[in-house]
Chains A and B, each alone.
Chain A
Amino acid sequence: MKTVKILRYAVMLVFVLASIRLITGATDLTSTGTASAALLLSVPIVLAALGGLFSERAGVVNIGLEGMMIMGAWAGGLIGSQHGPWAGLLAALVFGSVGALVHAIATVTFGVDHVVSGVAINIIAAGLVRYLSTILYKNGTWPGPSQSPGIESISVNGLPVLSGGQYFGWKSPDLLGSIANLNWFFVSDLAAILRGLTGDVSYVTMVAIAFVPLTYFILWRTAFGLRLRSAGEAPIAAESLGVNVYAMKYAGVLISGGLAGLGGGFLAIVAASNYQENQVAGRGYIGLAALLFGNYRPGGLLAGAGLFGFADALQLRDSTAIHALLLFIVVILAFVAFRKFKSGKQVGAVIALVSAGFTFWFYFAVDELPGQLVTMTPYIATILVMALASQRLRMPAADGIPYRRGGLR
């Protein structure tokens, strides 16, 4: 039942986007390029958010995701440029875990406040990689103090028959691509988006997306997952039943760092072709926001990361599409007003309608949004979504509370 509902919403979403494309002529709203860029930009956030999931389900708040991603991106650049992309990704995973180990020692063993330790790790990670990069630049290994040499790219592939993948030298037809080129309303839009999501996808991306169901399976269908979650919900009760809470928390934080580091490595190796300073640019925090948006569930965080990736892809590719997106906001606000009215909340309905009217006016008042404001889209989206979604969140009951065996504080 639930899958059907999600599919219905997804189709509705594409329909609205396709209509807006038709009205405004902003073709990038539903183009293959946008969809594939959105996927590429979502993956690091998905990995960071999955990392956050492991850690927070074990009861350790992990603001340090950002720092662990920075470590991962740097290690990806260092090892990736010398020993190839796959070794780089492995190094990213290991370095992220090293950052996580520091976080685990501070929070689990010594009981330091989780946010304090996480922020400390972010500050340290940024400083450490800057220091090490400078040394590498000075001894001539790196071309600049803020960037690594180039890294080989990892090959891409697509679904057979549908998206023109290559298998053992056989080039399959690109069915979705041809439908997308037909320019039929809605059908071609849907095909273009699917083509973007399933064709020319890096192998790393496939692995990363596969982590989402895998995480669900590990956390909700295995004994290890149950124990890990019990450490985040009721550690004292878990301990009394023989669960080693410290070990579970260590495991959660270390996996978290590995995934975040991998996300950082992805940025350097797959999304770009070398490490650059400030490459992570707050994606660890966005991953955390995606996790909260998804109510600490794998499926939810995927949706949150997708939303951010889509907004980011649009602002990178075409700023006129963001202008067209204002109409999308009008539609959503009208929908909210309708829902509020139906459930008898007249005041809320009026507020939503007035906001819709204002956005509609704004759409016609300006021809194009200035670039600096367009880059703000993902952050505004995150704040709005948090404002709407925060009240139905249920975080793990003992999340963020330092735990000490024996009940001492």
Chain B
Amino acid sequence: MRNLISRKFSLSKIGLAVAAPLVAAVFSIAISSIAVIASKNSPIEAFKTMWDFGTESASLMETINIATPYYIAALAIAVTFRAGLFNIGVEGQLRLGALFSCYIGAMFVLPPVLHVAAVFIVALTVGGLWAGIAAYLKVKRGVNEVISTIMLNALAGGLSAYLLSKHFALLEEGSNNLQTKELPASAQFPDLMPILRKLGVEDQPGGGVYGMFFVAVALGLIFWFVVNRTRFGFELRASGLNPIAARVSGVNSKKMTFIALVISGAIAGLAGLPEILGQTHTYSLGFRQGIGFTAIAVALLGRNSAGGMAVSALLFGFLEVSSRALELIDIAPETYVIMQGSILLSAVIAYEVVRRFKLTLQSNELAKGVQS
């Protein structure tokens, strides 16, 4: 027993777990410092400015607001990663989910909670159906899901532009801003200011924290439970880790592929909603772009685990918000993209190096055990 505990919490094991993120952090700080120095500025000043601005409470709230859709979309991607697939089409799924839930959600009025639930169901259904095309093509026609979801992204872009401009948009006199009819108050998700005020947080000019934050947390918990603690989650991971072994032990891997992609699309459908239900209450041409692609980085950095992705979503949000302060000291705020990119790449490589190192360590230990 003692042996088991010591093996589980041995120093080298903890060291290895910390090593990868640490190496990645050092490497990315080095790269972004070089980028800042290249534009003839002081990296220390840059980091200090970012930290000071980013830790103000208004910035922290915005960080959470930016991280929420990233997190939901990353969960969607992680479902497929766990099943050995890759849904790169989250961007398209969340766009169509947002568009349809705005259009359909504004058609009727329901009691407050029910209405939000109805909007969720629309988003889940649309996202799931759109991903279902890729799932069908994968299972029935053998089309690589990476290629088909990329194509579906482009199609979702064209389709949403067409539907918005020709059918869904409310034309206002003298305005050429295309947007859907505003969602009634019953479909709006209240922000978290009432709770935050009790905790002693003051109101900020930028607005509060979206209520969808709770939904993201709940989704994260559900993701963790289903993937790690249920039979379905086991079969999902099994068909991802070793499809042949999974099939031999009775897992229908085609079914798992289909279900994984559709569930992924359904979750993705929700990722466009935080901003809409919390702030804009309508889908317009200015709908935020690129959530689905940044979420891929978030999922990779968080290693597809519920906790890891939460940390990386918040990190990405923090970098995005705090880098705005760089404008004040005359550095391009786009520096955050360099930071995000270098963190991602170095983390991905560091994880792999640590995994290989662990493997060598294990086989050495095993060899020692055999000798003695």
Interface residues of A (CB under 8 A from B): 63, 102, 105-106, 110-112, 115-117, 119-121, 123-124, 126-128, 130-131, 134-135, 138, 282, 285, 288-289, 292, 370, 372-373, 375-376, 379-380, 382-383, 386-388, 390-391, 393, 408-409
Query: Are B359 and A408 in contact, with the CB atoms below 8 A?
Result: yes
What's the minimum C-beta distance from B332 to chain A, rounded to whole angstroms?
4
What's the minimum C-beta distance from B361 to chain A, rounded to whole angstroms?
13
Residue of B nearest to A112 (CB): B352
CA distance A120 to B353 in the complex (A): 17
CA distance A383 to B335 in the complex (A): 37
Starting from the known contacts A124-B345, A131-B332, A282-B154, 11 additional A-B residue pairs (CB-CB under 8 Å) come to A63-B146, A116-B348, A120-B344, A123-B293, A123-B344, A126-B337, A128-B338, A134-B334, A135-B39, A292-B147, A376-B158
Interface residues of B (CB under 8 A from A): 35, 39, 86, 88, 137, 141-144, 146-148, 150-152, 154-155, 158-159, 161-162, 165-166, 293-294, 296-297, 300, 332, 334-335, 337-338, 340-342, 344-345, 348-349, 352-353, 356, 359
What's the minimum C-beta distance from B129 to chain A, rounded to whole angstroms?
15
- A interface majority secondary structure: helix
Q: Which residues of A contact B332 (CB under 8 A)?
A: 131, 134-135, 138
Q: Which residues of B contact A373 (CB under 8 A)?
A: 158-159, 162
Query: Are B348 and A382 in contact, with the CB atoms below 8 A?
Result: no
Q: 9 tightest A-B contacts by CB?
A: A127-B337, A124-B341, A372-B162, A376-B158, A131-B334, A134-B332, A379-B154, A390-B142, A372-B161
What's the minimum C-beta distance from A47 to chain B, rounded to whole angstroms?
18
What's the minimum C-beta distance from B296 to chain A, rounded to whole angstroms?
6
Query: Are A111 and B147 in contact, with the CB atoms below 8 A?
Result: no
What's the minimum C-beta distance from B44 to chain A, rounded to whole angstroms?
19
What's the minimum C-beta distance from B85 to chain A, rounded to whole angstroms?
10
Q: Which residues of A contact B150 (CB under 8 A)?
A: 282, 285, 289
List 16 A-B pairs, Cβ < 8 Å: A106-B348, A111-B352, A116-B300, A119-B297, A120-B341, A123-B294, A123-B344, A124-B345, A128-B338, A131-B335, A135-B39, A138-B332, A282-B150, A372-B162, A372-B165, A388-B141
Q: Which residues of B contact A380 (CB under 8 A)?
A: 155
CA distance A127 to B359 in the complex (A): 34
Query: Are A376 and B155 in contact, with the CB atoms below 8 A?
Result: yes
CA distance A382 to B341 in the complex (A): 30
Query: Are B345 and A375 in contact, with the CB atoms below 8 A?
Result: no
Q: Which residues of A contact B143 (CB under 8 A)?
A: 383, 386-387, 390
- B interface majority secondary structure: helix
User: Which of A128, A131, A382 has the most chain B CB within a 10 Å cutoff?
Assistant: A131
What's the minimum C-beta distance from B95 to chain A, rounded to whole angstroms?
13
Query: Are B141 and A387 in contact, with the CB atoms below 8 A?
Result: yes
Query: Are B151 and A289 in contact, with the CB atoms below 8 A?
Result: yes
Q: Which residues of B contact A383 (CB under 8 A)?
A: 137, 143, 148, 151-152, 155
CA distance A119 to B297 in the complex (A): 8
What's the minimum C-beta distance from A72 to chain B, rounded to whole angstroms?
18
Query: Are B337 and A110 in contact, with the CB atoms below 8 A?
Result: no
Residue of B nearest to A124 (CB): B341
Residue of B nearest to A289 (CB): B147
What's the minimum C-beta distance from A114 to chain B, rounded to whole angstroms?
11
Q: Which residues of B contact A105 (CB under 8 A)?
A: 349
Query: Are A115 and B341 in contact, with the CB atoms below 8 A?
Result: no
| Known contacts A106-B349, A376-B159; A127/B141 CB under 8 A | no
CA distance A112 to B351 in the complex (A): 9
Query: Are B155 and A370 in contact, with the CB atoms below 8 A?
Result: no
What's the minimum C-beta distance from A48 to chain B, rounded to whole angstroms?
13
Residue of B nearest to A137 (CB): B332
Residue of B nearest to A374 (CB): B158
CA distance A375 to B142 in the complex (A): 26
CA distance A131 to B141 in the complex (A): 41
What's the minimum C-beta distance from A120 to chain B, rounded to whole angstroms?
5
CA distance A409 to B332 in the complex (A): 42
CA distance A124 to B300 in the complex (A): 14
What's the minimum C-beta distance from B113 to chain A, rounded to whole angstroms?
36
Residue of A nearest to B351 (CB): A112
Residue of A nearest to B339 (CB): A127
| Known contacts A106-B345, A119-B300, A370-B162; A111/B340 CB under 8 A | no
Q: Which residues of A contact B147 (CB under 8 A)?
A: 285, 288-289, 292, 382, 386
CA distance A131 to B154 in the complex (A): 25
Query: Are B348 and A370 in contact, with the CB atoms below 8 A?
Result: no
| Known contacts A106-B348, A124-B345; A379/B146 CB under 8 A | no
| Known contacts A102-B345, A376-B159, A387-B137; A119/B296 CB under 8 A | yes
Residue of B nearest to A61 (CB): B146
